[in-house]
Amino acid sequence: MVEGDGTVVASVRPTARERDRCPHCRRRCAGYDWGEGRRRRWRALDLGTTFAYLEAWAPRVSCHEHGVVVAAVPWARHDAGFTRAFEDQVAWLAVRTNKTAVAELMRIAWRTVGWICERVMAEQRAGRDLFAGLNRIGVDEISIRKGQRYLTVVVDHDTGGLVWAAAGRDKATVEKFLDLLGVERCKQLRLVSCDMASWITGPIAERCPNATVCYDPFHLIKLATDALDDVRREVWNEARRGGQKQLAAELKGARFVLWKNPGNLTERQQLKLARVQQLNQRLYRAYLLAQQLRQIYRVPVDQAVALLDAWLKWARRCRLEPFVKLARTITEQRPGIEAAIRHGLSRWGVRRPAGQASDRLSAARAAPPADRR
């Protein structure tokens, strides 16, 4: 049937096998009444630019377990005003783009996208156990909003999928995940990659007796970069206070040259680095220490352990306080660092799904709450 505004309405009814079933348990139930006594409509996928609807009676049934409820229909989820195919497409688009684009493409309200995603997610989670078979996980935090708003995420390294996420960045948040995981499944964990934050490592050590903690390479390299930057600032401040304006001017702007991988330096940056070597041996020694530490993740395991031993000996006697302090930290946390090298775990396996979750949250916040069609 085509209405006056061009909308297409198709009258449908469930097959005999699908009639009179509870929408929750799917059991066949006794009929109760015809509901509100009128036919109900469900928005279907558009026919080009034309709106399309399915129309059918919505009787109620009496379920022994769930009471009087509207009978299930095979083309839509319970309490939905859209067909299953329509909601599945909206959910698929929501994963790959922002809410505003989905709302405009599907011609629905901005808030409706969120409600549809909740229904689809609830149905998918009901038939899946995201915690089943967890052996190697990664725990990390991501910033989701200005003002120190963080999300703690847990990723399965074997599947690469996001397992769990919750607002917060503290010990209580990690313990909440371990409570959901349960005692037996905590014992099944073998490897956990994370940074050196005690609010992650503490609960893992207490609740997961068989898990080996692997400190991700990114965090260790960041500590080395911070130590290098401390030396750079110290050298620059000494030159400035000592009236060595020429030296201070030449060292200014060397920050990114010192941070960058040697293989990615431009010709101009290579000249800048060579100039740093001529001007200040202490700063250049700090640069070499930072670059040498990166190499432990680029060589085979046995060579990496030997290289780490050599690096620690060098750092302890380098007479650069930030690197001496870093050597002490690495010595204290060495088991976790070596475990990451041996098992090849890093935060990059966590960051991709975590970044996707952050993108979805950012897209949701960016979408305007107007246009309530």
CB atoms within 10 A of CB 290: 22
Q: In tens digits, what is the pLDDT along the chain, a chain of 373 residues?
A: 888 788 999 999 999 899 999 998 989 999 888 877 678 899 999 998 899 999 998 899 999 999 999 999 999 998 899 999 999 999 999 888 887 889 899 999 988 998 998 899 888 877 677 788 899 999 988 887 666 788 899 999 888 888 888 888 899 999 999 999 999 999 999 999 988 889 999 999 999 999 999 998 888 999 999 999 999 888 888 888 888 887 777 777 777 888 888 888 888 888 888 888 888 888 999 999 999 999 998 899 889 999 999 999 999 999 999 999 999 999 999 999 999 999 887 765 555 555 555 555 544 444 444 333 3
Amino acid at 295: Q
**pLDDT score for 225:** 92
State how far the alpha carbon of 1 is from the alpha carbons of 9, 12, 37, 287, 320, in Å.
Answer: 5, 12, 21, 75, 82
**pLDDT score for 147:** 65
∠ CA 71-74-80, rounded to 5°: 70
Task: Please state at what angle helix 217-241 crosses helix 321-332, rounded to 10 degrees.
Answer: 160
Is 44:86 a contact under the CB 8 Å cutoff? yes
What is the C-alpha to C-alpha distance for residues 36 and 20, in angstroms, rounded to an integer?
A: 16
**pLDDT score for 242:** 83
**pLDDT score for 6:** 83
What is the C-alpha to C-alpha distance for residues 159 and 128, in angstroms, rounded to an integer?
A: 14
Q: Could you tell me where the DSSP H helices lie in the chain?
A: 84-96, 99-106, 110-126, 171-181, 183-188, 198-207, 217-241, 245-251, 255-259, 267-279, 281-294, 301-316, 321-332, 334-343, 348-366
What is the C-alpha to C-alpha distance for residues 142 and 149, in angstroms, rounded to an integer?
A: 9
For the chain, the structural domain boundaries read 8-126, 136-215+348-359, 218-343
Phi, psi of 90 (to 5 degrees): -60, -45
**pLDDT score for 370:** 39
**pLDDT score for 372:** 36
Decide: helix, strand or coil at residue 10.
strand
Is 108:142 a contact under the CB 8 Å cutoff? no
Residue in the block written with tokens 């009128």: 38
pTM value > 0.75: no
CB atoms within 10 A of CB 230: 17
Residue in the block written with tokens 């380098």: 318
Q: What is the CATH number of domain 136-215+348-359?
A: 3.30.420.10
Is 185:215 a contact under the CB 8 Å cutoff? no
Q: Are strands 50-57 and 39-47 parallel, antiparallel or unpaired?
A: antiparallel
